[in-house]
């Protein structure tokens, strides 16, 4: 069984290597991780070094991405802000994955009224447009890094619950699981040994696609001033602050947005490639979950 899974993983990797967009996405992601961890040292200037003589300067050798309305170096702020985006993305999708997969597992495995109650609850969360619910949660809990993570995590939980439940339902009826039940294996053992390995593929795909959406949501929240609070730099917030100057200083609007775009694109490319390899039938659940902000 595990040998089969190894070869599946190897097949997936080799397929990914022959997919140029996926390779490009992976390279960008790698660069992002480097920037995310070492951004502070890579940045040519401090993120809050205000310089009133250098306000709204266009890109130059000294400031490749220009300076903002307070004379701060845009490149440095973009580099350092990468960390926030990645952190929020990873933590919130982690929350959604753990909670959602847990709920889906319990609902699909035990079925009956437990299933009913849990999944109706997920339906309720699904009834809100993604960003609206996130905004409402942050508004109530108070803006900040942690609440943004929680809000985005909650919003993406139902998708993971549905994907997991669907997988569990199909696995549960298979012969080897029924056999394990009949010889009296414990629920926990069956779930760990038989169910989890078989629903891993759709979950991996959903995770990578959700990372893209989560980062987009984080950017939207911070654009609305509901993400990490100033003076810490965040891409969305930089766009919000720069929007008033955009006709005079295009670089304020361009570079932070391009950073968001590249990050989301990279996650999407890798996610699509993973889906093609691991789970070709899972068509549009991820796409359907991307609603406009």
Q: Specify the DSSP class assigned to residue 290.
A: -
Tokens encoding 213? 């959406």
Which residue, 160 or 267, is less far from other proteins as judged by CB? 267
CB of 70 to other proteins, least distance (A): 19
Which residue, 102 or 126, is less far from other proteins as judged by CB? 126
The length of the chain is 293
CB of 183 to other proteins, least distance (A): 33
Tokens encoding 145? 């890094």
Distance of CA 191 to the CA centre of its chain: 26
Which residue, 25 or 202, is less far from other proteins as judged by CB? 25
Which residue, 196 or 262, is less far from other proteins as judged by CB? 262
CB of 236 to other proteins, least distance (A): 8
Q: How far apart are the first and last CA of the chain?
A: 43
Which residue, 198 or 207, is less far from other proteins as judged by CB? 207
CB of 259 to other proteins, least distance (A): 10
* Residue in 135, 193, 128, 187 with CA at minimum distance from that of residue 158: 128
What is the distance between the alpha carbons of residues 24 and 27, in angstroms, rounded to a whole number? 5
Q: Which contiguous run of DSSP H or E holds residue 32?
A: helix 20-42
Q: Which residues bind other proteins (CB under 8 A)?
A: 21, 120-121, 123-125, 127-133, 135-142, 212, 216, 219-220, 223-226, 236, 239, 242-243, 246-247, 250, 253-254, 256-258, 260-261, 264-265, 268-269, 272, 283-284, 287-288, 290-293
Place of tokens 């900040």: 144
Which residue, 27 or 50, is less far from other proteins as judged by CB? 27
Contact between residue 86 and residue 33 where contact means Cβ atoms under 8 Å apart: yes
Tokens encoding 140? 């109530």
Q: Give the Cβ contact number of residue 38 at 10 Å.
A: 13
Q: 144 vs 3, 76, 93, 258, 269, CA distance in Å? A: 45, 22, 17, 23, 29
CB of 204 to other proteins, least distance (A): 19
CB of 177 to other proteins, least distance (A): 29
Which residue, 184 or 280, is less far from other proteins as judged by CB? 280
Which residue, 130 or 190, is less far from other proteins as judged by CB? 130
In b/e form, how buried is each residue of 102-132, taking b as 16+ CB within 10 angstroms? ebbbbbbbeeeeebeebbeebeebbebebbe
What is the distance between the alpha carbons of residues 203 and 67, in angstroms, rounded to a whole number? 42
């Amino acid at each position: 069984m595990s040998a089969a899974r190894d070869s599946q993983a190897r097949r997936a990797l080799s397929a990914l290597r022959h997919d140029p967009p996926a390779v490009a996405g992976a390279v960008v992601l790698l660069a992002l991780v480097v920037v995310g961890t070492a951004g502070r040292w890579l940045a040519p200037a401090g993120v809050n070094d205000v310089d009133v003589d250098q306000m709204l300067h266009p890109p130059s050798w000294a400031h490749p991405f220009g300076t903002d309305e307070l004379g701060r170096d845009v490149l440095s702020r973009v580099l350092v802000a990468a960390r926030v985006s990645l952190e929020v993305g990873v933590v919130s999708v982690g929350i959604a994955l753990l909670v959602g997969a847990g709920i889906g597992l319990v609902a699909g495995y035990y079925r009956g009224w437990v299933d009913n109650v849990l999944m109706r609850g997920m339906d309720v969360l699904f009834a809100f447009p993604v960003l609206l619910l996130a905004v409402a949660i942050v508004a109530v809990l108070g803006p900040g890094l942690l609440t943004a993570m929680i809000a985005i995590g909650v919003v993406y939980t139902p998708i993971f619950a549905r994907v997991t439940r669907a997988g569990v339902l199909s696995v549960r009826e298979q012969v080897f699981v029924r056999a394990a039940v009949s010889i009296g294996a414990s629920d926990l053992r069956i779930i760990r040994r038989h169910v989890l390995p078989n629903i891993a593929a759709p979950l991996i795909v959903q995770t990578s696609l959700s990372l893209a959406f989560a980062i987009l949501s984080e950017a939207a929240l911070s654009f609305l001033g509901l993400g990490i609070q100033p003076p810490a730099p965040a891409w969305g917030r930089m766009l919000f602050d720069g929007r008033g100057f955009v006709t005079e200083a295009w670089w304020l609007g361009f570079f932070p947005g391009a950073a968001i775009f590249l990050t989301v694109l990279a996650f999407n490319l890798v996610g699509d490639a993973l889906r093609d390899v691991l789970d070709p039938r899972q068509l549009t659940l991820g796409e359907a979950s991307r609603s406009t902000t």
